[in-house]
Amino acid sequence: MGMPTEHDVRAMLLDLPEAEEVVVENWGDQPTYRVRKKMFALLGYGADTVCLKATRETQAALVEEEPDVFLLPPFFARHGWIDVVYAKVTGEELGELIEDAWRLTAPKRVVKAYDAEREAAEDA
């Protein structure tokens, strides 16, 4: 995959276990992505960005490293979230950031089952 499109991003978000899209009407019909009702991502407000849950350390490192790719999102930045301009990253890099956001949000049992399934597939 080259540079991801919004369609690719949506597919990557929904490909994770128990991930679902929830449209929030009072946020201007904003699509959010959740696992067990907890949000780990949302697509940018008409921009080519995806807002992802991250740690404050990751957020600071990414913004310092590539400030034209990784932005501080309105409202969510103080909680460590990061806006990613997805047309400026590879699909692989974006996939890792999305998975990290999901891992920070999903219950430990769900993450453990996901890792076991991937390990079994690699061993096959």
Q: Does residue 50 form part of some domain? A: yes
Q: Answer yes or no: is pLDDT of 46 > 70.
A: no
Please tell me the least confidently modeled range out of 18-32, 52-66, 108-122. 18-32
pTM over 0.85: yes
Counting the structural domains of the chain, the total is 1
Q: Does residue 33 form part of some domain? A: yes
Q: Which pLDDT belongs to residue 121?
A: 87
Q: Which domain holds residue 79?
A: 6-115
Q: Answer yes or no: is pLDDT of 45 > 70.
A: no
Q: Does residue 124 form part of some domain? A: no
Q: Could you read off the pLDDT of 17-31 as tens digits, one per residue?
A: 999 999 987 776 788
Average pLDDT over residues 112-122: 91
Q: Does residue 57 form part of some domain? A: yes
Q: Which pLDDT belongs to residue 5?
A: 87
Q: Does residue 123 form part of some domain? A: no
Q: Does residue 121 form part of some domain? A: no
Structure tokens at 36: 């067990």
| CATH code for position 53 | 3.90.1150.30
Q: Does residue 111 form part of some domain? A: yes
Integer Cα distance of 115 and 100 in angstroms: 13
Confidence of residue 59 (pLDDT cuts 50, 70, 90): very high
Q: Does residue 122 form part of some domain? A: no
